[in-house]
Amino acid sequence: MADNQIIEYDPEADILVINIKANPKVREDKLLDNDIVLSLDEKGELAQIQVMDVLRRGLLKIVITLLTKEPKIKAIIESK
């Protein structure tokens, strides 16, 4: 992963956002049937991934573990 990628977690909405590109300019969102949104930029390229219901899926602990092992990834994880 590149240094400019940012992972953000919103505890109130329980959504994890992974920015694939720095400062993504989203043109279109595609909702997959498993509550994952793929955001595409003006060129139709993947710019962002949004994962809903992160706590319910048990993914937050996995993400935190990943971040502790990969210091190059910038992350914003807020707590309630």
Query: Domain extents for the chain?
Result: 6-72
* Higher per-residue pLDDT: 69 or 59: 59
Claim: this prediction has a pTM higher than 0.75 = no
Residue range 10-40, pLDDT digits in tens: 888 999 888 888 877 889 999 998 899 999 9
- Distance spanning both ends of the chain, measured CA to CA: 28
d(CA 80, CA 73): 22
